[in-house]
Structure 1
Amino acid sequence: MRTFVVFDLEFTSWQGALEQDWGAPGQLREIVQIGALRLREDFSVAEEFEALVRPVTNPGLSAYFTGLTGIDQDRVDREGVPPAEALGEFLGFCRGQSVLSYGNDMVVLGENLGWARARGEEVKSGFLPAHFLNIRPWLNSLAPATATSNVGRLWQVLGLPRPAAGQEHSALFDCHSLAAAIEHLCGTGATLPEGCLRRA
């Protein structure tokens, strides 16, 4: 059975950070939550991955971030794991797979991987055994109405049933929204980009 992975990240943010491309002093895109689904060819879920991560440079979450994601400081302090641990587990989950995101989340992943290694932390897995792909251009070209939508709203824009419990800007919910959008488009005759499906 061939499978592929869809993933989403939630990372530290502040009011206006997106518009400034996280350019203000001290603002880094530190991962706080990773969500991923391993999907079979029929788009059923073979496995889920979710990790909460404790940021290092900005360990205190902004009120803006908490309002956006619903992730509060107490939960991160209680359940969060060190970045190197979460990154290693996630990259292990992706090993040998095509890994799709709605946008360039792999860039943020690379930033966080670099910071962890610069701190002298060991990340058990790396990028090379996985094939990362931004699926957004493919999806937006097939469904132009999605062009201005964030990943967590894709299901709404396409008029699909709610794909899972939870809310947008929760990484795992956003993965379900992306998976539903991909399944819908493939169900109307679209074909995933070459190389997306690999033998599990």
Structure 2
Amino acid sequence: MQSFCIFDTEYMTFPNALSTGWNDSGQHKEIIQIAAAIVTPGQPWETFPTFNVLVKPVLNRLNAHTTQITGITQEQMDADGMATATAMARFAAFVGDHKAFSNGMDINKIAETCGLQGVHMPLAVRNFGSLRAALYEALDEVRDFHHEDFPSGRLHELVGIPLLPGLGQVHDAMRDVWSLHVTMDWLSDHSVNITAMMVDQLELAYTAC
């Protein structure tokens, strides 16, 4: 199988956002971090190209709740964050022509952020897909668990594969990418190739358009 991209995003949240659906005045799901890796099956993960940027929100400053969830502080954002247009252009260049997958349709959050800020969306949406349904269905065969208790950054626990230290907390986008990768790699070793199924689905959907 050819190389593919695994990516993850983090976005602004608020104390009551889950209950309101981000519908309270001033609540917007602006992307604040994008991380990704270009994965080549059968190759050591240390050789994978990676991408990790902080993205400056423009409609809100970071709040304490978002910092608690993601570990990203306003000080980090001020020092290292880049404009959305710059981040999107760099991410598009990184992904190139690869198929790209996330745990859920993170590409929709990217498109939403571009729309909110009036920024050009440079990514080909047809190349992006969600692993969630196939991934959690496969993991349900491994052990019983409540899906909501295991976001991307904890999935590796279900298959007993530790992550390297220093990858940040759950909901750090780079940690989440590696957790997704090692989980999918374990499943592939056990004859469940999630990514091959998703690539086939994307290609079939594009052909049908």
Q: Which TM-score band applies after superposition, normalised by the shorter structure?
A: 0.7 to 0.9
CA distance in 2, matches of 1:152, 1:126: 25
CA distance in 1, matches of 2:51, 2:31: 15
Matches within 5 A, 1:1-200: 2-42=2-42, 44-45=44-45, 46-58=48-60, 60-116=61-117, 118=118, 121-122=119-120, 125-127=122-124, 131-144=127-140, 145=145, 147-148=147-148, 149-163=150-164, 165-166=166-167, 167-191=169-193, 192-195=196-199
Structure 1 unmatched runs, 5+: none
Post-superposition offset of 1:157: 2.3
Q: Name the one with the larger helix percent.
A: 2
Considering Cα pairs closer than 8 Å and 6+ residues apart, tell me whether 1 or 2 has the greater RCO.
1
CA distance in 2, matches of 1:104, 1:194: 13
CA distance in 1, matches of 2:21, 2:101: 22
Are the aligned partners of 1:43 and 1:183 in contact in 2 as well (CA < 8 Å)? no
Equivalent position amino acid for 1:193 in 2: M
CA distance in 2, matches of 1:153, 1:65: 18
Runs of 4+ aligned structure 1 residues displaced above 6 Å come to none
Q: Name the one with the larger strand percent.
A: 1
For residues 22-54 of structure 1, give each alpha carbon's deviation from its aligned partner in whole angstroms, at most 9, with x where no partner exists.
111111100111110110022534200011111
CA distance in 1, matches of 2:73, 2:91: 22
Superposition RMSD on alpha carbons, in Å?
2.1
Q: Secondary structure of 2:18's partner? A: coil
Are the aligned partners of 2:129 and 2:198 in contact in 1 as well (CA < 8 Å)? no
Equivalent position amino acid for 2:179 in 1: S
Post-superposition offset of 1:12: 0.5
Structure 2 unmatched runs, 5+: 204-209
CA gap of 1:43–1:190, structure 2 versus 1, over 3 A, is farther
CA distance in 2, matches of 1:85, 1:134: 24
CA distance in 1, matches of 2:35, 2:177: 7
CA distance in 2, matches of 1:176, 1:132: 18
Are the aligned partners of 1:52 and 1:79 in contact in 2 as well (CA < 8 Å)? yes
Percent identical among aligned pairs is: 29
Q: Secondary structure of 1:96's partner? A: coil
Aligned length: 192
